Amino acid sequence: MATLNLPHLKSDDLPIVIAAGFILVILAAGTAYTLSTLGTAPLLTPNYLLTQLQTGAFLGIVACGMMTVILLGHIDLSIPWTMTAAAMMATTIGGPGAIPTGLAIGLIVGLVNGFGVAYLRIPSMIFTLGVDSVMRGLMVAHTGGFAPQDTATDLMRYLAAEKVLGVPVAVFVWAAISIVISAVLARTSFGKAIYATGNREAAAYLSGIRTRWIIVGAFVISGLCAASAGMLLAGYSNKAYQGMGNAYLLPAIAAVVIGGTSILGGRGRFIGTLVGVILIVLLNSVLSIAQMPEAGRQIIYGLVIIVMLLVYGRTTRVTS
Amino acid sequence: MFQELSLMPDLTVADNISIADPPRRFGLIDRKAQRERAEALLARIHCEDVDPRALVRDLSLSRRQMVEIAKALGKDPKLLILDEATSALTSRDVETVYSVLGELKQDGVGMLFISHRMHEVEALCDTLSVFRNGQHIETFAKGARSQNDIVKLMIGRDVSHQFPPKPVRTKPNTPHLVVDNLRWENALNGVSLSVGKGEIVGLGGLDGQGQKELLLALFGVLRGVDGKVGIGGADGLTGSPAEAKSGKNRIALVPEDRKTEGLMLPMSIADNLLAASFDRVSVGPFIDRSKEKQAVADAIKQLQIKINRPEDAVATLSGGNQQKVVIAKWLMTEPEIILLNDPTRGIDVGTKQELYRLMRELADQDRAILFYSTDYAELIGCCDRVAVMYDGRIVTEFSGAAITEEALVSAALNITVPISTSPGVPA
C-alpha cells in the first residue's frame, strides 16, 4: 500500500478504481465516435444510461449470486439452466404461485449444489456442470424440446419491463438484491465466514465456523439469484424459452472477476461486482453502437477481460 | 535436502530420485536406467527394501525421508545441506545415515547439518555454528564449549529466568477434562488422562506418537473416535470444532500450523481475531461495529500484539505476533479448556516468555490447559504435570520435581516402561 502513495486505498479497492476508470474511458471513446459520425452524444443521455441499467439488471442479479460462490473459491456453472428452469416452471404454474415456484427451483438447485460440494466433496466446477446438464435434460423432457406456450404473469412483466418514475422496475429489483447481498457479505457473521472459508477452509473450520453450512448457504444464494434473474428475463420477453440463460454465465463470472474478486476466493468487495457488471454492459453496448462486426466485438471483449486481470495481478503482487 | 519432504507423492520412487535430470535415451526418459540408478542409490543407504517402482505416497514417513536422502546423493553433491534430515527416521536408519555421511566426509564432500538434536550435532559435526533470530551468534570447534554454554548461546541468556514460577499445590485439582480409553485408527490406542481446572498438563514424547491426534480428537475434528471424554462431569465428545467451542464444552485449540490452520493470512488482523466469535459481537444477524472495534482493541491490548492498524493483513505480522493473534482469537471465546499444539514453534524467545507467562495467568484463572510441545525445556518449565505419550498411549506421568529432562527423554523412548505392557516397535 505504501508503494501506491494512496494511504486510504486498500489493495482490494484498486481493481474497482481501475474498472471504474475504464467505464469512463468506454463512455468517452463511444461519445467521441458518435460525435465524429453522427454529431450527437446519445451515450450521455439519461435515457440511454437507464436502458443500459435495465439490460444490466439481469446480469447484475446473476453476478450477485455468482460472487458469493466465487468468494468461497468455488464456482456455479449451473446458472444458465437454473435461470431457464425457474423461468419455465414459473410460467407453467402461472398465477400468484409463479414467483414462489421459480424461487423454490433456485433454492433446490442451490441445496443440491451445496450438498454435492460441501458434503460429497466433489469439485464445484464438475458438480455444478453436471447439475446444469441434468436441469437441461429435465427442461427438455418438460417441454418436449419446444418453446413453451405459457406466458409470463403480470407481476413478472411488471417487475421486468415496467417503469416507475421513468426508472425500470428491474433496476429497483437489482438494487434491492444488491443491498441485501452487500449487507450480508460485509455486516453479518455469515458474510465474514464466507470470506474466512474462501481464504483458508482449514483455518476457518478449526475456528469453529461451520464451513459446510456456509458453502451450502452460498450456493443457495446463487441459485436464488439465478432463479430471480431467469424469471425477470421471462417477464421481459413475456415467455420462457430454451437456452435463455446461456448468455449470462460467462459475463457473470467476468463481471465478478473484473470487479476485483479473486477467482481463488477470499478477497473482493461487493461494489466491485456492480462496477464490473456496468463495465461489461457498457462495453457490449458501445461496441454494437460502433457497428463493430461480431467477430471484432468478441475479440475486444475477451482482450479487455484478459488485460484487466493482468493489470490486477501485477498490482496485487506489488502490494501484498 | 529439506526437513519438509520435497517428494511428489504420486510419482514412483525412481521418478522422484531422478526428477531433475532423468537418464535419457534418444531424448526420452530411459526407465530402465532410471530404475537401476534408483536401486544403486538406495542400496548405498541400505534401503534395498524400497521398491523403485513403488509410489512415494505408499511409503512410510521414515522410508520417504530415506528416499529424499537418496535423491540428494544422486546429484553427486560437493556440498550437502541437511535440514533436520533425521527428524522422521527410525534409530536404525539414523545410524545408516550417520555412516553414509561419514563415507561422504571421507570423499571430501562438505556438509551443513541443521538440527535441534544436540547429540546428533555432537556425533556428526566438526564445527558448530549457533544461530538465533536470523543472526549468526558464534562458530567454534566441537568440544570447545559445554552443552550448557551452547544452550546459553542459543537462547541468549540463562535458562533459569525463562519461566514464571509454578504455584505450590496443597491439594490435587478437581479434574475438569477427563479422557478415558480414547482410540482413533492407529494413532490413538487407548489414551486416559485428566486435566484439572487451573492446571497446565504437558504432553511429551517423541514427535508423532499421537499427541496431535489426541488434541484434534478432543476438538471434534476426527471422525470415528472411540472412548469417553468427560467435561465437568458431562459427556464432552464433540463432532465438530463448532460444537467444541460452544455450549458447555468451551474448548479452544491453538493448532500446529498457524499459517494454514490458525490464520486466514490475507485477511485483516481484526477479522482473524473475531473469526471464532463473530456471534459475540453481533446484534441479531448483523455485526455491531462498535462492539467489534472494542473487542479487537481489548484483545490487542491484552496480549500486547504489536500492530500498525487492525485493518492490516495478518500476514504482515511477525511469527510471534501471528501466534498471539491465534491465541487472542480463542481467548475471546472465553474457553474453559485450552489445547495448545506446539504454540511456541518458530517464534522468538521474547514472545515465548510472554506466552509462558500468559499460560500461567490463564491457569490461575481456573482454566484447564493441555499443552503439547516438542521442547523438553518448555514442558519442564511450564507444566504442573507432564504425560508422556508413546505409540498412541500415555506411558507415564510426572508431576512436580519429578519432571526432569532425563525422565522425559527415557519415558519418550519407552525405556522405563512403567505402564505400557506391550513392547511397542517404533513405526
For A168, the 3-state DSSP assignment is strand
Residue B40 domain-assigned?
A: yes
Does residue B197 share a domain with residue B120? Answer: no
pLDDT at residue B418 tops 50: no
Is B144 or A300 the better-scoring residue by pLDDT?
A300
Average pLDDT over residues B363-368: 89
Does residue B252 share a domain with residue B193? Answer: yes
Does residue B294 share a domain with residue B232? Answer: yes
pLDDT at residue B382 tops 90: no
Q: How far is B276 from chain A (nearest CA, A)?
A: 5
pLDDT at residue A172 tops 90: yes
Domains: count for chain B:
2
Chain A residues in contact with B244 (beta carbon < 8 A): 208
Does residue B347 share a domain with residue B232? Answer: yes
Average pLDDT over residues B77-82: 82
Asked if A187 is an interface residue toward chain B (Cβ–Cβ < 8 A), one would say yes
Q: Which phi and psi (to 5°) does residue B13 adopt?
A: -60, -45
Cα–Cα dist B305/B322, whole Å: 8
Quote the pLDDT of residue B60: 73
Average pLDDT over residues B289-293: 89
| B331, closest residue in chain A (CA to CA) | A207
Cα–Cα dist A148/A84, whole Å: 11
Closest alpha carbon to A152 in A171, A170, A174, A131: A170
Does residue B341 share a domain with residue B228? Answer: yes
Asked if B308 is an interface residue toward chain A (Cβ–Cβ < 8 A), one would say no
For residue B329, give the CATH number of its domain.
3.40.50.300
CA atoms within 13 Å, Cβ hemisphere of A190: 19
Average pLDDT over residues B12-27: 79
Contact state of B266 with A196 under an 8 Å Cβ cutoff: no
Confidence of residue A212 (pLDDT cuts 50, 70, 90): very high
pLDDT at residue A45 tops 70: yes
Residue B367 domain-assigned?
A: yes
From A166-170, A252-256, B85-89, the region with the lowest mean pLDDT: B85-89
Quote the pLDDT of residue A317: 46
Residue among A192, A205, A266 minimizing CB distance to B241: A205
Question: What contacts B340, CB < 8 A, 6 or more positions away?
Answer: B254, B359, B369, B370, B371, B372, B373
Is B124 or B244 the better-scoring residue by pLDDT?
B244
Quote the pLDDT of residue A4: 41
CA atoms within 13 Å, Cβ hemisphere of A65: 33
Does residue B401 share a domain with residue B341? Answer: yes
Average pLDDT over residues A274-296: 87
Chain A residues in contact with B285 (beta carbon < 8 A): 188-190
Q: How far is A72 from chain B (nearest CA, A)?
A: 13
Residue B145 domain-assigned?
A: no
Average pLDDT over residues A179-193: 92
Residue B155 domain-assigned?
A: no
Asked if B333 is an interface residue toward chain A (Cβ–Cβ < 8 A), one would say yes
Average pLDDT over residues A299-320: 71
Q: Which of B80, B106, B125 is the last residue of a domain?
A: B125
Cα–Cα dist B383/B171, whole Å: 16
Quote the pLDDT of residue B425: 41
Helix or strand (DSSP H, E) at A163: strand A163-164
Confidence of residue B278 (pLDDT cuts 50, 70, 90): confident
Q: How far is A320 from chain B (nearest CA, A)?
A: 8
User: What domains lie within chain A, and their CATH numbers?
Assistant: 10-32+47-292+309-319 (1.10.3470)
Q: Which of B125, B148, B178 is the last residue of a domain?
A: B125
Chain A residues in contact with B265 (beta carbon < 8 A): 199-200
Does residue B296 share a domain with residue B204? Answer: yes
pLDDT at residue B419 tops 70: no
pLDDT at residue A318 tops 70: no
Does residue B169 share a domain with residue B66? Answer: no
Quote the pLDDT of residue A101: 92
pLDDT at residue B29 tops 90: no
Domain extent, residue B20, equals 13-125
- For B222, other C-beta atoms within 10 Å of its C-beta total 17
Quote the pLDDT of residue B155: 61
| A184, closest residue in chain B (CA to CA) | B286
Cα–Cα dist A245/A240, whole Å: 10
Does residue B294 share a domain with residue B404? Answer: yes
For the record, the C-alpha cell of B155 comes out as 537462547
From A131-135, A233-237, B27-31, the region with the lowest mean pLDDT: B27-31
Residue B208 domain-assigned?
A: yes
Q: Which phi and psi (to 5°) does residue B12 adopt?
A: -75, 165
Q: Which of B64, B96, B125 is the last residue of a domain?
A: B125
Quote the pLDDT of residue B246: 82
Cα–Cα dist B317/B420, whole Å: 44
Q: What is the mean pLDDT of chain A?
A: 87
pLDDT at residue B422 tops 90: no
Q: Are strands B200-204 and B385-390 parallel, antiparallel or unpaired?
A: parallel
Contact state of A188 with B263 under an 8 Å Cβ cutoff: no
Does residue B173 share a domain with residue B119? Answer: no
Chain A residues in contact with B276 (beta carbon < 8 A): 207-209
CA atoms within 13 Å, Cβ hemisphere of B16: 31
- Which among B222, B269, B278 is the top mutation candidate for probing chain A, defined by the most A β-carbons within 10 Å of its own β-carbon? B278
Quote the pLDDT of residue B188: 86
Residue B89 domain-assigned?
A: yes
Residue B92 domain-assigned?
A: yes
| B221, closest residue in chain A (CA to CA) | A206
pLDDT tens, position by position, B185-229: 888 888 888 888 888 999 888 777 888 889 989 888 888 888 888
Q: What is the percent of chain B with per-residue pLDDT over 90, rounded to a whole number?
A: 4
Does residue B105 share a domain with residue B217? Answer: no
For the record, the C-alpha cell of B305 comes out as 500484539
* Confidence (pTM): 0.79
Does residue B251 share a domain with residue B377? Answer: yes
Q: What is the percent of chain B with per-residue pLDDT over 70, rounded to a whole number?
A: 89
Closest alpha carbon to B380 in B163, B198, B230: B163
pLDDT tens, position by position, B94-150: 777 788 888 888 888 888 887 766 677 777 788 888 877 667 878 888 777 777 777
Residue B131 domain-assigned?
A: no
Contact state of B260 with A10 under an 8 Å Cβ cutoff: no
Q: How far is B261 from chain A (nearest CA, A)?
A: 4
Q: How far is A199 from chain B (nearest CA, A)?
A: 6
Confidence of residue A61 (pLDDT cuts 50, 70, 90): very high
